[in-house]
Amino acid sequence: MKKLMFAVAVLAMTSGMGVAQTVRMATEGAYPPYNFVNDQGNLDGFEIELGNELCKRAELDCTWVKNDWDSIIPNLVSSNYDTIMAGMNINEERKKAIDFSAPYTPPMPSAYMALTSDADIENGVVAAQTNTIQASHVASTGATLLEFATGEETIAAVRNGEADAVFADKDFLAPAQAESNGELVWVEGHDTVELGEGIGMGVRKSDGELKAKFDTAIQSMKDDGTLNAMLKKWFGEKALQF
């Protein structure tokens, strides 16, 4: 009987260890260069490379989960995965529901983009991705907020005339602006808008130990310069750095 009880106890401990060692990392897969699905059908981008390195340094076995943006926080809270790395800015409203790691980017600028540099962003219609700090900002102005599930849809809304402008992370909008042959331009005086505290990894409030492991790994990458090198790789030589 004692041997049986011991075997059951060992099985329970090893099963628990297996669960604890496997960290499920959620991302949207639709917000380049932070995260996207590449031509081979695999998750790719700054946060995928960074997340893999953080897991290596924290000695964690990690796996990636693709999840739509609008349900990404509720599914974390419901324990459908363990972290979020999805271009998520740290702000006070989100801190009410989840915790964040130390930021792995400096505060990244947002920008308004439109078909004309004098687009009416104060009284017109402005597109933004739902549940973003940019959407909250637009809602606090006199503009009419038009929300979409994905960032790509917000840009399309400007092109097809549904919206006068789009407001999003400048690094997300920049490729579309650069490749538009002058069709899309920055709204004059509103191409660098500071919002949020930087981008960080979302974790459940109950997972303080996991948060601490990732905080240590993030700090180690800041200390040895590898995080700055990664920021330059994905956001260019002029990228904001630590």
Query: Which pLDDT score, from 0 to 100, does residue 195 have?
Result: 93
Quick one: 94 and 211 in the same domain?
A: yes
Tell me the per-residue pLDDT of 6-56, one tens digit each, with 9 for 90 and over: 333 333 333 333 344 699 999 999 999 999 999 999 999 999 999 999 999
pLDDT at residue 183 is higher than 60: yes
Tell me the per-residue pLDDT of 186-222, one tens digit each, with 9 for 90 and over: 999 999 999 989 999 999 999 999 999 999 999 999 9
**Is 242 part of a structural domain of the chain?**
no
- List the CATH number of the domain containing 140: 3.40.190.10
Tell me the per-residue pLDDT of 124-152, one tens digit each, with 9 for 90 and over: 999 999 999 999 999 999 999 999 999 99
Domain span holding position 136: 110-186
- DSSP strand pairing (165-169 vs 125-129): parallel
Query: Which pLDDT score, from 0 to 100, does residue 51 have?
Result: 98
Give me the mean pLDDT over the 46-72 stretch. Answer: 98
Whether the upstream peptide bond of residue 106 has omega within 30° of 0, thus cis, is: no
Query: Which pLDDT score, from 0 to 100, does residue 21 have?
Result: 65
pLDDT at residue 107 is higher than 50: yes
Query: Which pLDDT score, from 0 to 100, does residue 216 have?
Result: 98
Quick one: 56 and 123 in the same domain?
A: no
Contact 84, 72 (CB under 8 A): yes
Any idea which of 20-34, 63-77, 103-117, 191-205 has the lowest mean pLDDT?
20-34
Quick one: 44 and 79 in the same domain?
A: yes
Quick one: 19 and 84 in the same domain?
A: yes
Give me the mean pLDDT over the 166-172 stretch. Answer: 97
**Is 191 part of a structural domain of the chain?**
no
Quick one: 127 and 149 in the same domain?
A: yes
Read off the DSSP letter of residue 26.
E
**Is 192 part of a structural domain of the chain?**
no
Query: Which pLDDT score, from 0 to 100, does residue 160 have?
Result: 97
Query: Which pLDDT score, from 0 to 100, does residue 220 have?
Result: 98
Quick one: 180 and 136 in the same domain?
A: yes
Distances (CA, A) of 101 to 39, 94, 95, 104: 30, 13, 11, 8
Quick one: 43 and 148 in the same domain?
A: no
**Is 27 part of a structural domain of the chain?**
yes
Percent of the chain at pLDDT exceeding 70: 91
**Is 25 part of a structural domain of the chain?**
yes
Query: Which pLDDT score, from 0 to 100, does residue 1 have?
Result: 40
Quick one: 143 and 205 in the same domain?
A: no
